Structure formats: structure tokens, C-alpha cells
């Protein structure tokens, strides 16, 4: 499709050599603002496709017969400071050459980018993927792009990413389910714009987007209680995050308030990072030697799935023998887990809130917490 131009200069052309490619006089269809060494490619001789080299401000300026300063202003919408003819001519050439500002040059000069880093543990978790999707959409609508970093819930990876992102001159950080780490504390002390999502800042303080996890646990307790259930169970991961602890804590506290004794609320935990497996293992411990409780609270849907598998294997019927309440309300529940009541977390709304928080931080406002409303979805 594209015509191929054979170029074979012995040396680099001097700076600012500009090659323009015309279809007809007056209709420029491509430009190189410099030639560069072209390595051998697939055994062919040195060659270059027209237009392969991005067009720079200098090319546009040369074409238009104005200075780069003028082009820069016009490209940035500062059209009042140039004559109407100049503006039009430049805009025409910008369009013809398909000029797009190089954000790297701009970032270096302005000392600010339109890039935000998002650190998330295991994207594999549908809840994390939902947050990522929502944040990405919100950022795009505000003209930002997102570098996604999967920390695998590891402090060392979180630190590495924080360092690398700083090198990339990102404009802000979104840390989903942070873990305590050196670089994170340093970043916070430095006053970097950073929004915590899901779990709070392990060192306390900072901007936060999430739900009222204690309240979510209480709501789960109330729901089961209202169903007349008398024997309760709750399972959780040994290495619980603040979010998990709050959910479980709220659940148990509420049952105590309702007058339940300790033995009416059985608890079990299991180690591990995969909530699926933790749910399975913890459920095993919970029912070890006992029957299943009438009502089981799992601080995440994935844990509920883990428990469900054990129920299947042991021929316990869910929800007939044991009502299960999860948290997250995975989108798939409505389709394939009709046995699971779950606390819906409005992940789809997280993106907008996270953006709000970032913009507040950029405006120099004091960090705040944004708690979004959750809803119990009864199935």
C-alpha cells in the first residue's frame, strides 16, 4: 500500500533535514524530518516506509514557515495569540501531516504527564479486574492513561513498581489493596498524590475509596438473623487485610449485639492468597467433625465459591442446608451462582470516585475518605 522509498545516505543527514513527500504539488502525503540509520531488515536493503518517522513540531513549523513556538501555541489551543491566517495555515498542515504532539517532550518540559499508575494485586480476581476497568474508563474520560501494575500482593513488587513509576514521572498513584512497604511510606511522606482503594493505607491516613466494611458484615448478620438462623459460621484468610477483618468483625459484633453466644458463631481461618482455596480449606476446618452451620458468612465471593465446592463434594445442599452470604457480588453470580446472597460493592462507580480523589489531591486539598454505598443482593 504505502510506497517505499529507498534511502541510502552514507552518513546521517545534518539536523533538521526535512524530506517531504508530495503526491501532487501542494498535496503533501508524508514527511520525514530526519533520516536515521536503518538496520538490515529481513535481508532487504536499507529502506524506510514513508511516514514511519513521527512528524515533529519542527517539521510542521518548517512547512508553515513559522516558528515552533507559534505552532506549539496553536496546537495547544492558544489561537488568540496568532493571526487567523496563521492559525488556519498551521492547522491545515497539522492535519495534512497527521502531526501529534510527542507527550514525552511535553512531559519533560512541563514536568507533568497525563499518566497515572495503578497498582493492583492479582488481576485474576474479578473484583480487582472490575476496579481496573472502572478506573481505566474514568481516567480516559479525563484524558489520562493508566499504567497497570500487578503487585501480586507482594511488598517487594509494590516497591519496585513504585520506584519505576516515579521514574516514569506518573502524575498519581492508585493503590488497590496496599500492603505495608518502604517505598509506599516514603511516597506518602513525600506527599505524592496517591489514592488507596479497597484497603486503607497501612500506615493510616491518605485518600481512600471503598465501602464501609464493618457495616457490610453487620448487614450480612442481620440478613441471616432475619431468616431465623441460629447457628452461624464465618471463615476468613489468616493473612487478613483490614477490609476482610472489618467485614468479619462487623459480622461477629452484630451477632453479639443480637445476643448470640460465642459458640453459636463458629469461626475458621486458613492461610493462603487465593480466596478460592482459602475458602475451601477454611470451610473444611469449620465443619471438621461438625455439621454445616445454618448460615455462613464469607468475606468475599471467591471464598464462598471455595466453600461451595466443599459442599458439592460432601453433598451438602446450598442454600437448603446452609445459607451462604458473600461479599463483592461478582457479576457472574446472577448467572451461575443463584445460591449465593452477596453484598454488592459498586465497583463500577469506583473509577469516578478515584478520579475525584486524585483531582482533589492535585488541587492540593486535604485527603479524604470516600465510602460508597453497598447493597445486599438476596438470592
- Give contact residues for DNA (rule: CB under 7 A): 15-16, 33-34, 54, 56-58, 65-70, 72-73, 75-76, 80-86, 100-102, 104-106, 108-111
73 binds, among a second copy, DNA, none (CB under 5 to 8 A by kind): DNA
Residue from 45, 67, 76, 168 touching a second copy (CB under 8 A): that is 168
Please tell me whether residue 240 binds a second copy under the rule CB under 8 A.
Answer: no
- Do residues 221 and 251 make contact, with C-beta atoms less than 8 angstroms apart? yes
Stretch near a second copy under the rule CB under 8 A, chosen from 130-138, 249-257, 287-295, 369-377:
130-138
Note whether 204 binds a second copy by CB under 8 A: no
Are 128 and 176 in contact by the 8 Å Cβ rule? The answer is yes
What would the grid cell of residue 108 be? 519533560
CA contacts within 13 A on the Cβ side of 295: 22
Choices 45-53, 60-68, 172-180, 216-224; region in contact with a second copy by CB under 8 A:
45-53
Q: Which ranges of the chain does DSSP label H, i.e. alpha helix?
A: 57-64, 68-75, 84-97, 103-110, 126-141, 155-167, 182-190, 213-226, 242-257, 275-287, 301-313, 333-336, 347-362
Q: Is 323 helix (H, G, I), strand (E, B) or coil?
A: strand
For residue 120, the cross-strand partners are 150
Name the one range near a second copy by CB under 8 A: 60-68, 232-240, 301-309, 369-377. Answer: 301-309
332-350 as b/e, with b when 16 or more CB fall inside 10 Å?
ebeeebebbbbbbbebeeb
Instruction: Please report whether residue 360 would count as binding a second copy according to CB under 8 A.
Output: no
Partner interacting with residue 83 (select from DNA, a second copy, none; CB below 5-8 Å by kind) = DNA
d(CA 103, CA 203): 34
Pick the closer one to DNA by CB: 56 or 187.
56
What's the residue count for the chain? 379
Piece in contact with a second copy (CB under 8 A), picked from 60-68, 237-245, 265-273, 326-334: 326-334
304 Cα distance to chain centroid: 24
Interface contacts to a second copy, rule CB under 8 A: 1-2, 39-42, 49, 51-52, 54, 100-105, 107-108, 113, 115, 122-124, 126, 129-130, 132-133, 136-137, 140, 145-150, 163-169, 189-191, 276, 305-306, 308-309, 312, 331-332, 334-338, 364-366
Amino acid at each position: 500500500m504505502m510506497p517505499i522509498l529507498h534511502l541510502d545516505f552514507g552518513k546521517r543527514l545534518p539536523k533538521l533535514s526535512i524530506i517531504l513527500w508530495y503526491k501532487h504539488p501542494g498535496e503533501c502525503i508524508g514527511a520525514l524530518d530526519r533520516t536515521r540509520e536503518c538496520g538490515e531488515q529481513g535481508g532487504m536493503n536499507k529502506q524506510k516506509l514513508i511516514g514511519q518517522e513521527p512528524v515533529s513540531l519542527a517539521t510542521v513549523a518548517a512547512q508553515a514557515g513559522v516558528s515552533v513556538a507559534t505552532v506549539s501555541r496553536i496546537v495547544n489551543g492558544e489561537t488568540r495569540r496568532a493571526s487567523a491566517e496563521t492559525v488556519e495555515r498551521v492547522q491545515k498542515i497539522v492535519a495534512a501531516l497527521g502531526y501529534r504532539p510527542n507527550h514525552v517532550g511535553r512531559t519533560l518540559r512541563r514536568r507533568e504527564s497525563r499518566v497515572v499508575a495503578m497498582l493492583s494485586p492479582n488481576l485474576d480476581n474479578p473484583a480487582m479486574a472490575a476496579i481496573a476497568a472502572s478506573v481505566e474508563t474514568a481516567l480516559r474520560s479525563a484524558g489520562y492513561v493508566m499504567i497497570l501494575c500487578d503487585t501480586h500482593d507482594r511488598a517487594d513488587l509494590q516497591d519496585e513498581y513504585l520506584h519505576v513509576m516515579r521514574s516514569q514521572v506518573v502524575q498519581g498513584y492508585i493503590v488497590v489493596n496496599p500492603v505495608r512497604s518502604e517505598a509506599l511510606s516514603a511516597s506518602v511522606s513525600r506527599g505524592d498524590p496517591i489514592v488507596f482503594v479497597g484497603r486503607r493505607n497501612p500506615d493510616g491516613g491518605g485518600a481512600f475509596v471503598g465501602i464501609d466494611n464493618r457495616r457490610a458484615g453487620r448487614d450480612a448478620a442481620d440478613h441471616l438473623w432475619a431468616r431465623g438462623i441460629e447457628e452461624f459460621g464465618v471463615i476468613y484468610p489468616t493473612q487478613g487485610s483490614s477490609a476482610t477483618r472489618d467485614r468479619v468483625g462487623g459480622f461477629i459484633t452484630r451477632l453479639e449485639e443480637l445476643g448470640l453466644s460465642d459458640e453459636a458463631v463458629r469461626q475458621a481461618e486458613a492461610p493462603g492468597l487465593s480466596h478460592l482455596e482459602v475458602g475451601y480449606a477454611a470451610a473444611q476446618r469449620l465443619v471438621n467433625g461438625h455439621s454445616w452451620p445454618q448460615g455462613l458468612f464469607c468475606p468475599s465471593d471467591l471464598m464462598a465459591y471455595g466453600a461451595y465446592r466443599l459442599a458439592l463434594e460432601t453433598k451438602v445442599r446450598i442454600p437448603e442446608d446452609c445459607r451462604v452470604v458473600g461479599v463483592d457480588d461478582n457479576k457472574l453470580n446472577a448467572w451461575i451462582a443463584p445460591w449465593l446472597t452477596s453484598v454488592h460493592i459498586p465497583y463500577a462507580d469506583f473509577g469516578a470516585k478515584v478520579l475525584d480523589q486524585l483531582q482533589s489531591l492535585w488541587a492540593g486539598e486535604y485527603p479524604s475518605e470516600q465510602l460508597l454505598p453497598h447493597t445486599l443482593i438476596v438470592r
